[in-house]
Amino acid sequence: MPPERRLGGIVERMLQGPMARHLVVRHLAAGQLIDGATEEEEAGEGSLLVLRRGRLRHFVSFEGKELTLFMLEPGDAVYLHAGSTLEVKKDAEAIVVVSATLHTLARTDPELALAVAPLIDRLLQKSIRMIEDMAFHGVKHRLIRVLCEAADRDGRPLAHGVVLDAAPRAEDFGMQIGATRQSVSTVIAELGRSGLLHRLGAGSLVISDLGRLREQLATER
């Protein structure tokens, strides 16, 4: 069973039993920011956040610039601490457990700790890949990879391609791959001229040929 499903099942079981009093259910609105430093100060310690539904963006910022480290999907878990900043991308519901309670729960229910560990490691690997991409690959490669991943995760197949509904703006793509909005717009225009990508309405993108796009990912550095 995938770790995110395993953790989700464990959390749902706890919510139905006596352990529910140790879990805090939080409803988060799109656009809301979660500041790890504030969370840690209010709780007196760090805490584990398990995303039940919605989507969150974990990012770092410096001098007005932002870099997305990874996106959290339902079933993912992240440890909130003073260096954490998250943006709610879709209305969300999360379960928050402070560290002391988490340690207690891990002793009484070891399956919880075993389910959390691979998820935290997976997010770490996403951050490492981001660093590797910025060090060794150009903007076009990074954008194509993100587009392919979005198609696999959220794509809606149609006869003429794969639609990404409510696709990120060029600025959002830029924060996700560590590039400027202008650089992303230039690549999107290039993919459009090659017939691989086009707009559908105000907020959707259509990948006309996902296979050809993947081929470019293999050759574009």
Q: E strands, the chain, where?
A: 24-28, 33-35, 47-62, 65-72, 77-80, 85-98, 156-158, 161-164, 197-200, 204-207
Average pLDDT, the chain: 85
Is the distance from CB of 109 to CB of 10 less than 8 angstroms? yes
Q: Does pTM surpass 0.75?
A: no
* Nearest Cα residue to 186 out of 167, 176, 173, 175: 173
The residues, ordered by sequence, that sit 6+ positions from 95 with a Cβ below 8 Å of its Cβ are: 11, 15, 23, 24, 25, 26, 49, 50, 52
The residue-averaged pLDDT of 10-39 equals 87
pLDDT for 4: 60
pLDDT for 42: 85
Helix H or strand E segment including 166:
none
The residue-averaged pLDDT of 105-113 equals 79
Cα–Cα distance for residue pair 77/114, rounded to 1 Å: 13
Per residue in 147-202, pLDDT tens? 998 888 888 888 888 988 888 888 888 888 888 889 999 999 999 999 999 888 77
What is the token pair recorded at 168?
């990120």
The residue-averaged pLDDT of 14-22 equals 80
pLDDT for 1: 56
The residues, ordered by sequence, that sit 6+ positions from 110 with a Cβ below 8 Å of its Cβ are: none
